[in-house]
Structures are given as C-alpha cells and as structure tokens.
Amino acid sequence: MKHKILPFVLFSLLLSAVSTGLLADSNGMDPEIRSKAKRAVDAGLHYLRTHQQENGSLSNSVGVTALGLRAFLQSHRGYKESDGAFITRPIQFLLEHVNDDGSISETNQNRNYNTAVCMTALAATNNDRYAEVLAGARNFLKGLQIDEGDGYESDHAYYGGIGYGGDERPDLSNAYMALEGLRASATDPDDPVWKKALIFVSRSQNRSESNDQEWAANDGGFTYMPGFSPNGGTASYGGMTSAGLLSLLFAGVDKEDPRVQAAYDWIRANYTLEYNPGSEGGTQGLYYYYNVFAKAMSAYGADMVVDSDGTAHNWRNEIATKLMDLQNDDGSWVNPDSPRWWEGNKDLVTAWSVIALNAAIN
C-alpha cells in the first residue's frame, strides 16, 4: 500500500505545481511563453532565410548579414554549417570582405561596427577555421582604440574610445559593439584594450563619483558619448544605459561594482518596454534598445527586475511577449515610427529581434 500511495502523492504535488505556475524553465521563463517565443524565432529566421540574396547576404550589407547569421547560430535550433547553404553562404560573404588591415567590411564608413558584429557571428560558429580571421579582426579593433599613439593622453574625454572607423569621434555604441566582438573572440582579459576602454565607458556614465567630466550627473545612466546624447544635452537613455552596463561586464567589471549597480538602478528606475526610455519620442532606436536590453539583462544574470516602484518584472517573459506582439505576419520586424539608424530595414530589425529573443530563451 505504501508503494502505491507515494506515486499518487508525487503526481498530486506535480499537478498542483503545474496548476499554480510553480514550474518554470531553469532561466525563470514561463514555459508557455518560451514555447511561443521559439515559434516566433522560427518565423523570424524563416523570413531571414527567404530574404538571403544569391551571394548569401542580407541587404548586401556585411553588418546586417553578420547579425542575421548570429541569429541563426545562437537560436534554440542550434543551426551550424552542416545544416546547409543558408549558413555557409553568409559566412562566405563575410569572408569575401576580409580586408588586408584585418577589418571585415564593404565600406570604410562603418568598419568598426561591421568588423565587430562579424567577429561575434564567426565566433558563434565554434569553427577553428576562422581563428586567423578573428585574430586579424581583433588587431584591427584594438588599433582603432584612441590612446597615446593617436596623441591622446589618459585625461582626454575620448581616451580609450572606439568610433565607427571613419568617424574621428568615438561613441559608446561602437565601443560596446567592439567590446562584444573582442569578448566573443576570447581576447585576453589582461589585454590593455579592456582597461583603456573602461576609462572611456566610465566617462560616458552619469555618475560623478567615477566620471571626472564636469558635465556628469548622478542618475547612473549612460550617454551616447562623453558630454553628448542625441536627445540633446547629456541625458541618459535606455539603449545606451544597457550598452554601458554590457560594456562594463564585457570588460570584466564585477557585478557588485558601484558603476554596474548604478547602471542597473537606472534601468530599474526607468523600466519599460513600451518605448526606448529617454530617447526622442521614445521610438528612435527602439529595436536597438530591445536587442541590447535583452543581452544586458542576460549578462547581468537577474531573471526578475524589481523597478523603483517595487513591481517585479520577469524581463524574459515581458520582452518575448512584447516582441511577439510586434512581429509582422511574414515573420519580420520593423520600426514603423522611426526609420532612423536603419530601423526601417526589415532584415536588420528582424535579426536584432531574433537575437533579443534568443537572449531571453537561452
């Protein structure tokens, strides 16, 4: 009799847990939302696959192609080169644009951006065949970093920053992307590039205790570059604050560091997925914000975000639900309210959205 009761009790407890929602995926995501999000990823990837051009590219852009490739490789499907041409052709397209200086780009204007996202995508293949390409790209990105070799001393606001590769002014967006590429390609954590970058990143944060610039306020958020944000003045905003948080973590700063905690507190105080907080009109850079927010929260390692009003948010459930609500019938995403920064390009915005969903799901 005892042996018959035990399975019944266990079954009852299991049924109770399911009915009360106590069971959840290991990352805290609601299983039903996770299942729907996987289907949204599949639809997004199908859109990208059907919009690949004969040369393997998306929008004939190295950067967009790399982001699309990353979306496939890091998805729940675990796509790899053996799955066929929809993976190998984009890789070949990227390799055809490796330049003598180590950059991976079809244009001189966005060489840092393109090279950095290519590094992240090629690293995601886990194929040693691309080790030499990644090494050259690492050297290229490190060469773009502004330092003494460019005539800048460590007290200059631009010191340690990285720009587009054609623009002489560095910015936090390009710096974060470069650091992501360097991190993905296993750059030595003792390499001076990290320490220098932290100087620039810290000078982009509205935290006067760690930012020696006179303009710095104390809300903990981040600006586009030291002393400037696109929305005017030096106000912090959502996309850059998540990028700043990611940059700190990529560079090896401890989660308990006051700079990290200040950035996280800004996110808590301004938590929303309805718009890009602090941006002009809330719609500019919206999908950039979704992408970097999801990656930042995943890297930070908190499944729940308690906002400044005390409301707990399961960010994985919420970002997935928001993106599923915004997905078009053909599986794509696009920003209909602001095409600025390429957010009118379906290939780019779909890749960003799938990568954000991947960060929530995985």
Supply angle C-alpha 235, 239, 243, rounded to 5.
105
Query: Is 104 a domain residue?
Result: yes
Whole-number percent of the chain with pLDDT over 70: 92
Instruction: Tally Cβ neighbours within 10 Å of residue 212.
Output: 13
Helices (H), the chain: 2-19, 31-50, 62-73, 85-95, 111-124, 131-144, 172-184, 192-202, 238-250, 258-269, 286-300, 315-326, 346-361
pLDDT digits (tens, 9 = 90+) for 307-346: 999 999 999 999 999 999 999 999 999 999 877 777 999 9
- pLDDT, position 26: 63
The terminus-to-terminus CA distance of the chain in angstroms comes to 43
As for how many domains the chain has, the answer is: 1
Residue 345 within any structural domain of the chain? yes
283 is a domain residue: yes
pLDDT at 24 (0 to 100): 52
Residue 280 lies in a domain: yes
Residue 15 has pLDDT above 50, yes or no: no
- Residue 346's closest CA among 18, 47, 125? 47
Per-residue pLDDT tens over the stretch 164-213:
876 678 999 999 999 999 999 999 999 999 999 999 999 999 999 999 99
CATH number of the CATH domain containing 95: 1.50.10.20
Q: pLDDT tens digits for 54-107?
A: 999 999 999 999 999 999 999 999 999 999 999 999 999 999 999 999 999 998
Max CA separation in the chain (angstroms): 84
Is 352 part of a structural domain of the chain?
yes
Using only the alpha carbons of the chain, give its radius of gyration: 21
Establish if 14 belongs to a structural domain: no
96: domain range? 27-361
Burial of 22-31, coded b for 16+ CB within 10 Å and e otherwise, reads: eebeeeebbe
Q: What is the pLDDT of residues 111-141, one digit of tens each?
A: 999 999 999 999 999 999 999 999 999 999 9
Q: How far is CA 328 from the centre of its chain?
A: 22
Q: Confirm whether 1 is domain-assigned.
A: no
- The overall average pLDDT reported for the chain is 92
Q: Report the alpha-carbon distance of residue 362 to residue 355 in Å, rounded.
A: 10
Provide, rounded to the nearest whole percent, the portion of the chain with pLDDT above 90. Answer: 84
Burial state string for 90-111 with b = 16 or more CB within 10 A and e = fewer than 16: bbebbeebbeeebbbbbbeebb
Q: Is residue 9 part of a domain?
A: no
